[in-house]
A and B are shown apart, each in its own frame.
Chain A
Amino acid sequence: MNDNIITVEHLEYSYRDSTQAALQDVSLTVPRGAWVSVIGHNGSGKSTLAKNILGLLEPSAGTITVDGQELSEATMWDIRAQVGIVFQNPETQFVGATVADDVAFGLENRAVPRAEMLQRVDVALQAVRMTEFADREPAHLSGGQKQRVAIAGVVAQRPKVIILDEATSMLDPAGRREIIALIKQLKAELGLTVLSITHDLDEASNSDKIIVLDDGQVVETGTPAQIFSHGQDLLTHGLDVPFAQQLQDELQKLGVVFPGTYFDDEGLVDYLWTLRSTM
């Protein structure tokens, strides 16, 4: 399938007072309907990439195309309508005075008529299971609940793409799993494309495609199996190794023979199970 919803070509970006470019000649594609993860160590340019795609930062060179529209001053607002982003800090991206107000904020900006707005806010809150919190103020919500509200705000806008800019990094493991499961469910229901920027390799191992950024450059692109089968080599890019691969490496040291491919948790269990039954 050659239908890419986001195409980035030769993107360059440098922050004003830094000597090194934050992004250097970055080219990547996000297939429509896929879950794509961008991974990399702190300062590898992941968040800068996300802000460039939304036109929040202006690239010094290169082109970005979202759903057939090339990003420019003129198309910026149309593209922002197509792409919803959930940021890292649940506290500082909450604009509204209550949950419902916050979900409605993006719709107010797009001058959606009030009758339709009420209905879309309701649907979005239901989708993230926050209906009974509609009149709550943000001070009374947990971090995970605030992130769910942020997702509802994005869902109400009905975008084609959701960008998760380390959206789960400030949550506890339970909250993190819950948010990921929720996005997965919404992605299936609404036919979304997800571009997830993350540190969490176990989360990235479930995506369709992984893009590895290191010091502002794309160093590798591939399926999780391709990327993670490098094992310890990932450490040179400042990344960690997912748990299933770590386990595989440790077992290998103890003499268990593996075919050299990456297994996710389930695949590893399956492999170990077949290995045992043939002995």
Chain B
Amino acid sequence: MSKMILGRYIPGDSFIHRLDPRTKLLATFFYIAIVFLANNWQSYLFLTVVTLAIIPLARVSFKFFINGLMPVLFLLVFTVLIQIFFTTGGQVYWRWGWLSVTSLGLINAGFVFIRLVLIIFMSTLLTLTTPSLSLADAVESLLKPLAKIHFPVTEVALMLSIALRFVPTLMDQTTKTMNAQRARGVDFGSGGLVKQIRTIVPLFIPLFVSAFTMADDLATAMEARGYRDGLGRTKYRVLHYGKRDAMTTGALAVLTLGLLILRR
């Protein structure tokens, strides 16, 4: 579990940490979109240099970024191999049946590799420097225009924040239930598929029941504290765009412009 980098947050106080979460979320999406603008080695070099220059701004150990690659390593290798062996065109170095290694294949494989790595680095940067709570706030704030078409934004935001808040509680409950069932002789994770599914039942049923009880208790507590519906509430947590967010927007504009100039 400790190796999991997805959704892990490293507390800090760097330039990137202090960015508005909305900026970070939008910037990451935008970055992923413009990565596809690059189509020659100059533009890829430019992107790589810029990305590697941004990462130290977060003051997070580079090791975390490498770890972030691990879960998708298989996908990465698979895509690169497909590109190498199945792309035709350019000078042919090696051929066996319908498999061939060509100069174009190698170049494409390199580009795909860089593209994926850069995208993963940037998403890792987002999750490493933004607590899930701020991301939920950002999503709420960005969804706000949808309230106009009667989308229940505040309710969805509340559900999101309660869901996030209960993740550790439910994980705890899961471990407890698992251990309690183990103590009674349930053997998790062994045997065939059918047997494994069967051992899940004494874990899931109590978990669902306790989730219902928790939801009931929580609803009572919320009502006792005056919660009626999402309407007419004030908010404790507010987001502010600052100078840094303007700088980030500027940097993204320069990056886009640079890519547009460099691409063929």
Contacts and interface: CB of A to CB of B under 8 A. Distances in A.
Are A and B associated in one complex? yes
Interface of A: 51, 54, 56, 77, 80-81, 84-85, 87, 89, 91-98, 100-101, 104-114, 117-118, 121, 137-139, 153, 157
Nearest to B231: A111
Nearest to B160: A97
Contacts of B237: 101
A138 B165 contact: yes
A195 to B, nearest CB: 13
A109 B228 contact: yes
Given A111-B233, A117-B236, A137 B165 contact: yes
Contacts of B66: none
A54 B164 CA distance: 29
Main SS of the interface on chain B?
helix
A100 B220 CA distance: 20
7 contacts: A77-B228, A87-B221, A92-B214, A95-B162, A101-B161, A101-B236, A111-B233
B224 A121 contact: no
Nearest to B215: A92
B222 A108 contact: no
Contacts of A153: 225
A85 B224 contact: yes
B220 A56 contact: yes
Contact of A112 (B136, B217, B222, B234): B234
Contacts of A98: 133
Contact of B217 (A89, A100, A111): A89
B175 to A, nearest CB: 13
A97 B227 CA distance: 16
Contacts of B223: 56, 80
B236 A104 contact: yes
B232 interface: yes
Nearest to A96: B165
A108 B162 contact: no
A106 B225 contact: yes
B228 to A, nearest CB: 7
B63 interface: no
Most chain A C-beta atoms within 10 Å of own C-beta, residue among B220, B222, B235, B238: B220
Interface string B201-239: 000000000000110011011111111100011111110
Most chain A C-beta atoms within 10 Å of own C-beta, residue among B161, B168, B218, B226: B226
B165 A81 contact: no
B128 to A, nearest CB: 17
B169 interface: yes
A92 B162 CA distance: 11
B225 A113 contact: no
Given A92-B214, A95-B218, A109-B225, 5 more contacts: A92-B217, A95-B222, A97-B133, A108-B234, A138-B168
A84 B221 CA distance: 10
Given A95-B162, A157-B225, A87 B217 contact: yes
Interface residues of B, number: 29
A56 B216 CA distance: 12
B218 A121 contact: no
Nearest to A105: B225
B226 A110 contact: yes
A80 B232 CA distance: 17
A111 B133 contact: no
B221 A77 contact: no
10 closest Cβ pairs, A-B complex: A104-B236, A139-B168, A93-B221, A92-B217, A109-B226, A106-B225, A92-B214, A97-B133, A108-B233, A97-B165
A121 B221 contact: no
B217 A107 contact: no
A114 B236 contact: yes
Contacts of B162: 95
Nearest to B229: A109
Interface string B191-208: 000000000000000000
A114 B238 CA distance: 9
A17 B63 CA distance: 59
Interface string B106-123: 000000000000000000
A106 B228 CA distance: 11
Contacts of B238: 114
Nearest to A81: B226
A157 B226 CA distance: 10
B232 A111 contact: yes
A188 B234 CA distance: 30
Contacts of B218: 92-93, 95
Contacts of A113: 234
Contacts of A95: 162, 165, 218, 221-222, 225, 227
B218 to A, nearest CB: 5
Most chain A C-beta atoms within 10 Å of own C-beta, residue among B161, B214, B223, B236: B236
Nearest to A80: B226
Contacts of A139: 168-169, 172
